[in-house]
């Protein structure tokens, strides 16, 4: 292929650099009004009174929508994430949306919102989930899969073990916090609604919005050509503020814009649920795993059940005949949680890979060696053959490239410039998700090509990669292809979540291009192909996952307990890499997330008040450039997964995150001799 596989610059790079790319909150309309959301300050109880008279009396205020004047919204029968409260106006968490103020200017709306007087019949909130484990129940399902699974005989497996490890690990509440906050502009033309919004799912948003407003889906258009970061918060859930915004725009008969505050981003658009995970491993003296038990308990909101698949990776990463996985939820007064980058796998592998390192120490085996001894020849969970599987090669190449075998294996044995040095490793994996999709491709007489799809570019390079695929299939220059995305009126596509966008879209674009080329050979007029593409039988015949190995070196200040990541290496087997420049950028972004999970990110929750605190970017610590090492090495194996399709590409966006946190935790143990099982690893935990 002449273009695919090459480090082509972003097609949308120039307009972004020049500021010409319009994001949701930058849409311009005449007579644009501004909305500001107001929320509950009580965590539990009933709303008794909401007095908006002072707000409405302010000059420039156009409307106040609340539970008192939009009962059709609050009585919505939707399953919880598209409504603000129950029909009796039950308050279920602090920060719950109660309404919006619409005004001529945003400053006026913010001031008016502060004047709204709210009275509650407060009730005692439910306590922290960690103290109510006995109340935990199994979720109905997790992304369509059963929450529990068992194979083999756990008691038998543990009885055969020469060494066992049984430990509890915790991960914190995390927040997505993209730099672009959630924003939307609603515009009505007669009975047609156009919503410009930051979303990872224009098609699903249109369907949910039409249903909530009682409209035919053809009367709703959702537009989102550019997304300034989402990480899951802009996909996988439909936020109630969008319904109120649409109602407000219809009521005031003019375009209305809503931009959430940073404080509201902590409660109104989801978060990664915290976890308490218990992992038990057993192995023979030679290091063969005989049993894996991985049980997770997590909190869920009162109004909607949600669970990540924290134990799903434990079912298949390593060969083991006896495996039991369970997930349990405890209802509590918290905002709805939702997927966050590498949902389930990022948190679950922290527990699994930490426990595996502890097992390696019990067996007096090298951590890399232990993992290599348990590489499965086929998917141990489903029994299906792998479509491709390169984890062994990832570890062998990574260990050599990183200099793993030169490390001193004993904790506390390596130093540099007065600091303690530690090496750590862990496995990365994520399903190679694909979904049916549609695409339109038009070839003009002059050779120019237009590719259209209701997919998205959330900053990952979709515009560029799809143009590369079309150019290669048609054997034309890359700059002759233009790609249009992010509009629900284009051919339908799945949401841009779960590392499925390019893996789903690229084969569809290639198939459409080849069909257009065949038609063009017999007809020289402009050719248009609208094609529906499905993953096909390979999805049922094979188990398809991407794999990787993370190697990390940390430096720990023995006096301050400060942990610095000195080096990171990720080696990945992720199918054909369509654009190594953009792929490397994605994986480094995932590694940044992994550093945050390991060392600093944790939402602060006041259990007494059942309320989030520190809801800003000063108190919620995110990794910045100064926190990242200069030495970040990303290596792709030459793997083409042709069992999937001719392109052989898998999703890569999650791999940089999965396994990075346990690699850092394992390195910290090697440096300090302190095993930290509750993230993040902050200095106080190393100074006790």
Is the domain defined by 30-124+180-228+235-266 classed in CATH 3.30.365.10? Answer: yes
pLDDT 10s digits, 481-495:
999 999 999 999 999
Q: How far apart are CA 670 and CA 661, in angstroms?
A: 14
Supply the pLDDT for residue 539.
75
Is the domain defined by 135-174+271-432+541-687 classed in CATH 3.40.640.10? Answer: no
Residue 421 in contact with residue 554, Cβ under 8 Å? yes
Residue 278 in contact with residue 168, Cβ under 8 Å? yes
pLDDT 10s digits, 116-150:
999 999 899 999 999 999 999 999 999 999 999 99
Residues 6+ apart with CB under 8 A from 346: 340, 593, 594, 597, 654, 657, 658, 661
- Has residue 269 got a pLDDT over 60? yes
Residue closest to 214 by CA, chosen among 240, 235, 243: 243
Strand partners, 606: 611
Helix residue ranges, H only, 334-490: 345-363, 367-372, 391-402, 462-474
Is the domain defined by 436-527 classed in CATH 3.30.365.10? Answer: yes
30-124+180-228+235-266 shares its CATH topology with 436-527: yes
Supply the pLDDT for residue 525.
85
For range 321-349, the mean pLDDT: 96
Check residues 688 and 545 and name the one with the higher pLDDT. Answer: 545
Taking the CA of residue 221 as centre, how many other CA atoms within 13 Å lie in the half-sphere pointing to its CB?
A: 15
For range 143-165, the mean pLDDT: 97
Name the token pair of 276: 């308490």
> What confidence tier does 644 reach under pLDDT thresholds 50, 70, 90?
confident
Report the C-alpha dihedral over residues 574, 577, 579, 584, rounded to 10 degrees.
40
Say which residue the tokens 């060392």 belong to: 599
pTM score of the predicted model: 0.96
> What confidence tier does 523 reach under pLDDT thresholds 50, 70, 90?
confident
What are the domain boundaries of the chain?
30-124+180-228+235-266, 135-174+271-432+541-687, 436-527
Supply the pLDDT for residue 501.
93
Q: Percent of the chain at pLDDT above 90?
A: 87
Report CA-CA distances (Å) from 564 to 111, 156, 405, 556, 680.
43, 42, 22, 6, 13
Can you point out the beta strands (E) in 123-238? 149-151, 163-171, 183-189, 192-197, 220-223
Residue closest to 312 by CA, chosen among 300, 322, 321, 325: 325
- Has residue 670 got a pLDDT over 70? yes
């Amino acid at each position: 292929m002449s273009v695919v596989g090459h480090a082509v610059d972003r097609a949308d790079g120039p307009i972004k650099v020049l500021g010409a790319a319009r994001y949701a909150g930058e849409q311009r309309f005449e007579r644009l009004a501004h909305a500001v959301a107001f929320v509950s300050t009580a965590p539990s109880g009933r709303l008794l009174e909401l007095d908006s008279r002072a707000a409405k009396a302010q000059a420039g205020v156009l409307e106040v929508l609340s539970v008192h004047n939009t009962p059709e919204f609050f009585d919505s029968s939707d399953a919880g994430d598209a409504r603000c409260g129950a029909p009796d106006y039950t308050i279920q968490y602090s920060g719950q949306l109660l309404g919006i103020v619409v005004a001529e200017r945003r400053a006026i709306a913010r001031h008016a919102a502060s004047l709204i007087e709210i009275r509650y019949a407060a009730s005692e909130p439910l306590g922290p989930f960690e103290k109510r484990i006995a109340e935990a129940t199994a979720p109905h399902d997790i992304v369509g899969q059963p929450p529990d699974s068992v194979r083999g005989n756990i008691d038998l497996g543990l009885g055969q073990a020469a060494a066992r490890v049984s430990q509890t690990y915790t991960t914190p509440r995390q927040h997505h916090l993209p730099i672009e906050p959630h924003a939307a502009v609603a515009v009505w033309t007669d009975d047609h609604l156009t919503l410009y919004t930051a979303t990872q799912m224009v098609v699903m948003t249109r369907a949910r919005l039409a249903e909530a407003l009682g409209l035919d889906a053809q009367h709703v258009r959702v537009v989102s050509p550019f997304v300034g970061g989402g990480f899951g918060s802009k996909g996988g859930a439909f936020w109630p503020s969008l319904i109120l915004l649409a109602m407000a725009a219809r009521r005031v008969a003019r375009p209305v814009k809503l931009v959430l505050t940073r404080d509201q981003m902590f409660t109104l658009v989801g978060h990664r649920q915290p976890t308490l995970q218990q992992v038990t491993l057993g192995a023979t003296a030679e290091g063969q795993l005989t049993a894996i038990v991985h049980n997770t308990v997590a909190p869920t909101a009162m109004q909607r059940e949600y669970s990540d698949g924290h134990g799903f990776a434990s079912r298949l990463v390593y060969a083991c005949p006896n495996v039991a996985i369970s997930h349990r939820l405890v209802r509590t007064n918290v905002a709805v949680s939702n997927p966050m980058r590498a949902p389930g796998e990022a948190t679950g592998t922290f527990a699994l890979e930490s426990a595996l390192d502890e097992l390696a120490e019990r067996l007096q085996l090298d951590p890399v060696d232990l993992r290599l001894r348990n590489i499965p020849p086929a998917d141990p969970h489903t029994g299906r053959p792998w479509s491709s599987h390169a984890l062994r090669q990832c570890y062998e190449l990574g260990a050599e490239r990183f200099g793993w075998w030169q490390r001193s294996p004993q904790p506390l044995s390596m130093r540099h410039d007065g600091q303690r040095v530690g090496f750590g490793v862990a496995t990365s994996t994520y399903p190679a998700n694909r979904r049916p999709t549609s695409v339109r491709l038009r070839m003009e007489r002059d050779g120019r090509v237009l590719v259209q799809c209701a997919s998205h570019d959330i900053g990952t390079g979709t515009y560029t990669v799809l143009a590369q695929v079309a150019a290669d299939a048609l054997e034309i220059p890359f700059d002759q292809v233009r790609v249009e995305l992010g509009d629900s009126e284009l051919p339908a596509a799945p949401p841009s979540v779960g590392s499925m966008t390019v893996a789903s879209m690229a084969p569809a674009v290639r198939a459409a291009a080849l069909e257009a080329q065949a038609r063009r050979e017999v007809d020289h007029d402009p050719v248009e192909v609208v094609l529906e593409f499905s993953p096909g039988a390979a999805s049922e015949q094979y188990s398809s996952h991407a794999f990787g190995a993370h190697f990390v070196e940390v430096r720990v200040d023995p006096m301050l307990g400060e942990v610095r990541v000195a080096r990171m290496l990720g080696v990945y087997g992720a199918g054909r890499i369509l654009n190594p420049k953009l792929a490397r950028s994605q994986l480094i972004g995932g590694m940044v997330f992994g550093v945050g999970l390991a060392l600093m990110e944790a939402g602060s929750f006041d259990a007494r008040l059942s309320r989030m605190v520190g809801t800003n970017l000063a108190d919620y610590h995110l990794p910045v450039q100064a926190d990242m090492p200069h030495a970040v090495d990303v290596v792709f194996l030459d793997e083409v997964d042709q069992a999937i399709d001719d392109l052989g590409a898998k999703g890569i966006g999650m791999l940089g995150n999965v396994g990075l946190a346990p690699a850092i935790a394992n390195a910290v143990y090697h440096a300090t001799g302190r095993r930290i099982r509750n993230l993040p690893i902050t200095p106080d935990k190393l100074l006790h």
